A and B are shown apart, each in its own frame.
Chain A
Amino acid sequence: DIQMTQSPSSLSAPVGDRVTITCRASQSISSYLNWYQKKPGKAPNLLIYAASNLQSGVPSRFSGSGSGTDFTLTISSLQPEDFATYYCQQSYTIPFTFGPGTKVGIK
């Protein structure tokens, strides 16, 4: 199975800050990498698919990059509604695997 890691596991930042989350796969997954936002009590929400494609309806302050084994999710200007846990997920092969998550909190 492909193992996914994320760093940091948590971070605190003020509103307006630029935030970057890193995801690494245990082997090359080309661009088969997706990012989800998860808030407590809510369903996960797809932000980015195929490493860099913004899902319809997602604010443009979210962006993704990377290929192979190393990927990043960037929030260009953190907003109050962005405080949540973010997960990367590989779809290169089944079983699909998620990263352990990065919790973004208020500073």
Chain B
Amino acid sequence: EVQLVESGGGLGQPGGSLRLSCEASGFTFSSFAMSWVRQAPGKGLEWVSAISGITGTTYYADSVKGRFTISTDNSKDTLYLQMNSLRAEDTAVYYCAKVNRRDGYDYDHFDYWGQGTLVTVSS
């Protein structure tokens, strides 16, 4: 059974930092891309970042580029999101998601999601 468990959310100061973690189990972690998606209060879903499990190539939404860093530790089957220079608009529930492939394309759909971790940016 695939499981994704996020942690690390909480209250962050504007301009401060937080690191989110997502511990994965039930699949070969290093063989799949992983992603972070967020939902601000009362808003829709917003893709944040993705990383290839095979090449380590990373991708970011413009809204977080240069401030957030996605990474993995394959020895721990864990995905991370280092969030720096936090802004009020980063307040959201952050979900990690496993990205499944289709017909050789590694980024086809998000088939499993964690339960989410809430990040609140406020002074």
Contact = CB atoms under 8 A, between A and B. Distances in A.
Interface of A: 32, 34, 36, 38, 42-46, 49-50, 55, 87, 89, 91, 94-101
Contacts of A100: 44
A97 B37 CA distance: 10
B interface: dominant SS? strand
B109 A98 contact: no
The 9 nearest A-B residue pairs measured at CB: A43-B113, A49-B109, A96-B47, A34-B109, A98-B45, A101-B44, A94-B59, A100-B44, A95-B61
Contact of B111 (A32, A46, A89, A94): A46
Interface in B81-100: 95, 97, 100
B47 A44 contact: no
A49 B44 CA distance: 19
Nearest to B37: A44
B114 A97 contact: no
Interface residues of B, number: 26
Given A44-B113, A98-B46, A91 B107 contact: yes
A49 B111 contact: yes
B45 A94 contact: no
B20 interface: no
Contact of B110 (A34, A50, A101): A34
Given A44-B45, A44-B95, A100-B44, A49 B108 contact: yes
A58 B45 CA distance: 21
A interface: dominant SS? loop
Given A50-B102, A95-B59, A89 B107 contact: no
A38 B116 CA distance: 12
A59 B105 CA distance: 26
B47 A98 contact: yes
Given A49-B108, A87-B45, 16 more contacts: A43-B114, A43-B115, A44-B37, A44-B110, A45-B113, A46-B109, A49-B102, A49-B111, A87-B44, A89-B110, A94-B50, A96-B107, A97-B47, A98-B45, A100-B44, A101-B45
